[in-house]
Homo-oligomer: A and B are copies of this chain.
């Protein structure tokens, strides 16, 4: 086979692109990794972007596949559960799981990206080019047009296989949309935007709130969260409606912002000296779900990660599902001369139901985070669910745990099993107010019948 045949172009050196590039290079492919932005290791990260995120089992497993998990864990902070803050400043920890290892990890997006770029650069046969925008892709010839972001000069390169890991607003997907007949596509925005803020570290570099938790201030129709950073700070994110009575459009002056935080986040306000400045300096981000089909053009081009399935952040599975894509695709690439069309078809068919499922669950989970976590019925069912898992672990795993901790359970299966479990919990908890009142004979019967 010719050397062009062994060459793969990967678009996007964000999180998913470099990981896929490393997977491919370690399989012996020659990889051209192409990124629109400058090398982030040499310039500042763009302001206002999500600057930390939660790494969970699926992502960790994919990192293990290229022996990068250990290194990533060095910059990861375990979070044991949700620390729920009320308007009096009281807090309550709601554990994510019930085993010691059932934690999720806060990781700096920037540090993780740099680590992945470093790892990619060390691979034989892997070349990274920055400052090149994908300005077009010809699906007939495989010609990829790249534009130098500095000079504006365009060059056209021949490609054998192109993998678009170029994010929610993928340029490759845009080309596919124009070229592929009957291309199904959906971009679905929530009525909410988000604003990133910061709680800096203490004077001594320590944490001003519990380090090992994901903090939530739930207010039914909106919420704020905070994740720890290794430097002692927290990245704070306010999720708030764009319009209406309580919304971003009503927060136009410093006094309004301060009053709003004083009312709803009284314990956070004193920890945020730069609040009003950040609030007006940082952009309001949008929350979008992107679905599309097909993900590939024959054996020539494939979309991966956010480019194929961008999701909202409320299940912390954006990066994790993208990383999982890499491991799953990698496992389907066999031999030196794979039948790429067959690989891409198999990958799409296997993966799309799962990414559709996590997309929908992520939207649902917004309601859980901003509203249900303060609902006694929700908390009762959560506790009863953990107890059922203890008693019948083969039959019942809480949906949250399936998604977050059980990388062997595909997302679609987690959703399917989760729906049955929700019905079971509904029946079991209908007439009780405490986990102590559960009728365990009935529980055993229902578990046997329903699951």
Contact = CB atoms under 8 A, between A and B. Distances in A.
Interface string A183-205: 11111110000000000000000
Contacts of A286: 181-182
Interface residues of A, number: 13
Interface string A349-387: 000000000000000000000000000000000000000
A179 to B, nearest CB: 15
Nearest to A191: B182
Contact of A187 (B184, B188, B242): B184
Nearest to A289: B184
Q: Is the interface of A mostly helix, strand, loop or mixed?
A: strand
A183 B189 contact: yes
A205 to B, nearest CB: 39
A186 B183 contact: no
Nearest to A185: B187
Contacts of A183: 187, 189
Contact of A189 (B182, B242, B288, B291): B182
Contacts of A288: 182
A186 B189 contact: no
Contacts of A187: 183-186
A183 B189 CA distance: 7
Nearest to A288: B182
Nearest to A291: B186
Contacts of A185: 185-187
A48 to B, nearest CB: 15
A359 to B, nearest CB: 13
A172 B186 CA distance: 18
A286 B180 CA distance: 13
A289 to B, nearest CB: 9
Nearest to A182: B189
**Residue picked from A182, A185, A242, most chain B C-beta under 10 Å:** A182
Interface string A280-300: 000000101001000000000
A388 to B, nearest CB: 27
Interface string A311-343: 000000000000000000000000000000000
Interface in A256-299: 286, 288, 291
7 contacts: A181-B286, A182-B189, A182-B242, A182-B288, A185-B187, A186-B186, A186-B187
- Shortest Cβ-Cβ A-B pairs, 9 listed: A186-B186, A182-B189, A184-B189, A184-B188, A182-B286, A185-B187, A184-B187, A186-B188, A185-B186
